[in-house]
Amino acid sequence: MPADATEPVVILPEVWQRPEILESLRSRNIGQLFRLIRQHTGASQTRIGIAVNLSQGKISEIMKGAIQVTSFEVIERIADGLNMPDPARMTLGLAPKGPFSTPDTAPSGQVPLPEPDVPTKYLTTFTGTSSRPVISGLRHVLTGHIQAEAIMGPPLLVNAVTSQIPLIGHVCRVTRGADRAEALNFASELLEFCGWLHQDLGDFPQATMWTNKALDYAMELGDRRVISYVLMRKSAIAIESGDHGHGLGLANAALTTPEALTSRLRAVILRTRAIANAHLGEATDSARDSESALVEATAGLSQTDSDRAPYCTPAYIAMETGATRLLLGQASTAIPIFEASRSQWTPASQARDHALFLTRMATAYAMAGDRDQACGVTEEAIPRIQALRSSRVAGQLATLRTQLSRWSMDRPVADLLTRLDLLAESFFLPAPRPPEGER
């Protein structure tokens, strides 16, 4: 190793102001960022790798565009390793390390850094007396993000959502009186959604971190419905990350006061508990919870109270019930459940959930040995999957491919498997390991 390989990468403040650097940060193009840093500092790939705790080979692949960096944890590590200043961090979509600074307070003799995307001067003078318009505006933005995410998945939204967190955190710190409850409620919803984005990217540590912060706001708010919903989200993350017993415990905690919840909230929590029980092999308990969830979801069609689970329809519960049967190795009982709700999925349905539904149904047919039905449903699912970037869908694709591979000697199935491989590669996401019952 060359003698200077371990020397730190020193990046002058003015480099972070260059338009091409700012563009690479805004677009989260880490490969371009590394190329520009090497150009402006002369640092080798080895030195950059040591700074950000990545191998030289990995740095080379990133710089060539062979690997796209999407993990929030890796991006945070890169920002820390390069000693990125707060305005640059915030342009990248990360929270600042220290207090906000403005060009007026730049150290003597240094070129002032550009103001961050978050309006620093506005924040420093914000007292909370007019927080409601700010929260209202951010809520409109969040509503749009939620609608967009259900159609195209999380990668294009996670940066924008994360960049709003410092602002809403400041709003909560300074808001008092009647508006404080609304500020806490929105902060909990925003951070819980941020946690969901990372969960659907397969980044469970970041998902847990943001959801824990959402629970902090929910506990301060003291709203039982909000607390229960966030506990359900923590349960879902624990289950997907493999901690099934903890997930079951969190689902039970979310149902501590069922009478305080809406029908849809009870339904989505019962569905989560059913999945945990299926992972644990508790078939009777899982079936009981699934049946209760369907009753509650049906009642939820006529509920007037708003909540955070408008997506929890009978068709959604049927999809999740079918998934529990797959986990338990009961494909023959999953198929009629899927077929019974198939007509309820309309073109206006949430794209990711519909794609997940079809992929699970194809998996059930494949597990049951029905090649023609499995291939037919897979063909129906492929067009709905192509625009998505979802870890859950990627994981179900991996399971489906494993089940279809038993017919890999058949030419039509072999061609379909090739198309699935190309589709999986386009996700740029790690496919979760298929659960034991689905292999």
What average pLDDT score do residues 302-311 get? 92
C-alpha–C-alpha distance, residues 269 and 214, integer Å: 17
The string of pLDDT tens digits covering residues 236-249 is 999 999 999 999 99
Cβ atoms of 257 and 295 within 8 Å: the answer is: no
Q: 132-146, 183-197, 242-256, 271-285: lowest mean pLDDT where?
A: 132-146
The string of pLDDT tens digits covering residues 16-26 is 988 899 889 88
The string of pLDDT tens digits covering residues 363-388 is 999 999 999 999 999 999 988 887 67
Cβ atoms of 399 and 438 within 8 Å: the answer is: yes
Give me 56's structure tokens.
């030289």
Radius of gyration for the alpha carbons in the chain, expressed in angstroms and rounded: 24
* pLDDT reported for residue 130: 61
* pLDDT reported for residue 427: 64
The string of pLDDT tens digits covering residues 99-132 is 444 334 444 444 444 444 444 455 555 555 567 7
Cβ atoms of 128 and 171 within 8 Å: the answer is: yes
* pLDDT reported for residue 439: 40
Q: With the C-alpha atoms ordered 101, 102, 106, 110, is the resulting torsion angle positive or negative? A: positive
Cβ atoms of 225 and 261 within 8 Å: the answer is: yes
Give me 70's structure tokens.
């999407």
**Helices 351-367 and 131-152: angle between axes, nearest 10 degrees:** 30
* pLDDT reported for residue 185: 94
pLDDT of 28 above 90: no
Task: Return contacts of 136-143, CB within 8 angstroms, 24+ apart.
Answer: 138/164, 138/167, 138/168, 138/186, 138/190, 139/186, 142/186, 142/189, 142/190, 142/193
C-alpha–C-alpha distance, residues 272 and 325, integer Å: 14
pLDDT of 361 above 70: yes
* pLDDT reported for residue 101: 40
Give me 365's structure tokens.
């047919």
Distances (CA, A) of 101 to 1, 114, 124, 169, 379: 39, 10, 10, 17, 54
What average pLDDT score do residues 191-210 get? 92
CA-wise closest residue to 55 among 44, 41, 65: 44
pLDDT of 69 above 90: no
Residue 270, amino acid: L
C-alpha–C-alpha distance, residues 271 and 290, integer Å: 6
* pLDDT reported for residue 117: 44
CA-wise closest residue to 394 among 367, 364, 355: 355
What average pLDDT score do residues 184-204 get? 93
Q: What is the residue-averaged pLDDT of the chain? A: 85
* pLDDT reported for residue 191: 96
C-alpha–C-alpha distance, residues 361 and 381, integer Å: 10
Burial (CB < 10 A; 0-12, 13-18, 19+), residue 178, is exposed
How many of the other CB atoms lie within 10 Å of CB of 151? 11
